[in-house]
Amino acid sequence: METGGWKRTLALVMVLVGTYAEALFSRHMDDFIEAVKQVEDGSPGSEPLAVLRMLRQVAGVDDAFIRHFLGNPDSGRPEMSPSLSAYISKAVPHRVTESSEEEGVVLTSDGTTVALAPLLLGIEAGLQPKTAGRVRSLYQLTLAKDLESAAVTQRLGPDGCWDNVTSPQVFTLLESPSVLTTAQVYGGMDGVLLGMEVSAQSQRPMKLSSLLTEYYSRKLGSEGLDGAPPIISRRRRENFKGLLVPQILERQLVKSVELQRSLEGRPKMAVKTKKQLRAVVKERIKEFVHKYMDCPPIIPRCMWGAEPYRGTPTNLSLPLSFMYIHHTHTPGQPCLTFQQCSADMRSMQRFHQDDRGWDDIGYSFVAGSDGNIYEGRGWLWRGAHTLGHNSIGYGVSFIGDYASTLPSQHAMGLVRDQLASCAIGGGRLVATFTLQGHRQVVNTSCPGDALYNEIRGWGHYGEVKK
């Protein structure tokens, strides 16, 4: 073989190896963590802060605002294989394309999707030396800047759907995007929570990859979230709610705007403008709290692999006055992972559509024991759950058989407290709605003796008026 030939072959092999390695990594958090491990292995002994700076530099997540808080990441181009740096520079920067594909986000094991940039910035902020015992820039680097822009455009969200939840590559938004998508909100919340966590530890954390693994990939035991550690991604909403002081977030948002202006060399805001901004921001934070803290995490139909509705759905006239509690009976076991709960949803939908001949899965919503609520027919469409009562109430079912045992406390709290207040706040249920067991209005043992006795002690529980 002449020399030109083998050189070309070698070049081709290198390109193929690079492309192959990049293709090996999907947009799943587990794969991103794998990439972080490779960065760590490539520079043994590096502190998490150094690894974060390398990631920030390779990903090009850098502007005057970020530098103001975290400094300049440049410490020479890090040693990294071309395929690894290609993956990082595609996986991390956040962008929404014209066809509503959201980039810079990964699917996590709990079934939610998070933006990586605010997550990594939050952890980096938490590792900075503290000023007067406080982490200065946590909110600014994770949520404040975009939440402020979202305040001006009047909207938060939406969530989206992956092309394939086993090997995710493309995430498409369900509606036209706002400035702050749900994945950015989740990434920001996780950035704040993990930033707080690392800043509170007296020792430097182990590795970044271990921190992410413990947070995102915890397996649940049979008691579900009741026995799970406190700082894990599935508890994101409740942890963030415990932490959030709306007035502080409000102040941080306004400060972010001021800082941004001064970095751009623009004059300070007039007092009147600042006052108006405060008012808008306050409203947006209310919406933020409702959407991301009062409401439970709801896994949309596309994410559990729902078949389309057959025929034309009938709209409900909102707000409704009832919530009917069910158990699924079959499947008879609580589901503890997003994968298992999704498979249960698909099997129930198959049964309802193919064997019962209904248009769709009958329930409005279904509670797993994995920390999620699954969207059945949802808020707007009439269900097929409680014969003769489907137009006046939502049907909410717990996966499992609750004749003699109860769902986890956590799963019951999601329905009793969060789903209900979410529905009231969103105008879907009247504030004085009545909660009943399926058996109160239909001749059935559903939702099982144990669960029925339990819900008789819940607020909003009501006897049937004779």
Which residues are at the interface with ligand NAG (CB under 6 A)?
Answer: 164, 166-167, 315, 380, 443
Shortest Cβ 306–ligand NAG spacing (Å): 13
Which residue blocks in 270-419 are alpha helix, DSSP H?
271-289, 301-304, 338-350, 409-413
Shortest Cβ 438–ligand NAG spacing (Å): 13
Nearest to ligand NAG of 3, 443 (CB atom): 443
Nearest to ligand NAG of 131, 315 (CB atom): 315
| Contact (CB, 8 A) for 293 and 237 | yes
E-state strands within 392-428: 393-398
Shortest Cβ 96–ligand NAG spacing (Å): 23
Shortest Cβ 436–ligand NAG spacing (Å): 17
Nearest to ligand NAG of 333, 444 (CB atom): 444
Q: CB atoms < 10 A from the CB of 39, how many?
A: 24
Shortest Cβ 380–ligand NAG spacing (Å): 6
| Contact (CB, 8 A) for 100 and 172 | yes
Distance CA 183, CA 187 (A): 6
Distance CA 207, CA 127 (A): 12
- The encoded tokens of residue 88 equal 């990082």
Shortest Cβ 317–ligand NAG spacing (Å): 9
Shortest Cβ 441–ligand NAG spacing (Å): 12
Distance CA 15, CA 159 (A): 35
**Beta bridge mates, 113:** 107
Nearest to ligand NAG of 4, 311 (CB atom): 311
Burial of 459 (0-12, 13-18, 19+ CB in 10 A): exposed
Shortest Cβ 387–ligand NAG spacing (Å): 12
Distance CA 120, CA 233 (A): 14
- Residues composing the chain: 466
Going by the DSSP 8-state scheme, the letter that residue 54 receives in this structure is: H
Going by the DSSP 8-state scheme, the letter that residue 95 receives in this structure is: E
Nearest to ligand NAG of 166, 176 (CB atom): 166
Nearest to ligand NAG of 75, 391 (CB atom): 391
Distance CA 294, CA 425 (A): 8
Nearest to ligand NAG of 94, 382 (CB atom): 382
Helix (H) or strand (E) holding 244: none
Nearest to ligand NAG of 146, 359 (CB atom): 359
